[in-house]
Structure 1
């Protein structure tokens, strides 16, 4: 199965999960996974949230910033992967000058 993000309508979300600024995202969702190609604008963030029922894998395509993972700050940039296991929390901040572009996968754990 090919997922063509160019054919998925882009959504603009302000203050994602209680964060700041703008997130542009194209999402594929089925009963097993949520797969998102997203851009976090400069100065924007996702709000801190805990993955109680699932986990999340985030591959950074371009840009830079950091995750607050539990109580740890972790710098990220292109080519790095952030993993938030079930039962842990995180938020993402784009403190760079360019869009922070990433592919995120949230499997629905059973």
Structure 2
């Protein structure tokens, strides 16, 4: 199966999960996964949240930022991968002057 993000409508979300600013995202969702191509605008963030029934893998395509991951801070740049396993918490912040562009996969875990 090929997922062509250019054929998926882009949605603009303000204050994603209680964060600040604008997130532009194209999402493919089925019962097993959420697959996202997204742009977090400069100065924007996602809200701090826990992955209770899933995990998240985030590949940074361009831009710079940081994650608050549990009790740590992790700086990210293009080419880095952030992983938030099930049961852990995180938030993403765009620290740069350009969009923080990323590809993310959120697999659901069958309990």
Write the mapping of 1:1-110 to structure 2, written as runs, cut at 5 A.
1-110=1-110
- How many residues align? The count is 110
Q: CA deviation at 1:84?
A: 0.1
For 2:16 and 2:70, the matched residues in 1 are separated by 18
Q: CA deviation at 1:3?
A: 0.2
TM-score where L is the length of structure 2: 0.98
Moved over 2 A (4+): none
SS at match of 1:2: coil
For 1:18 and 1:108, the matched residues in 2 are separated by 22
SS at match of 2:86: coil
**1:54-105 Cα distance to aligned partner (Å, 9 max, x none):** 1000000000000000010000000000000000000000010100000010
TM-score where L is the length of structure 1: 0.99
RMSD of aligned alpha carbons: 0.3
Consecutive unaligned residues of structure 1, counting only runs of 5 or more, are none
For 1:2 and 1:10, the matched residues in 2 are separated by 18
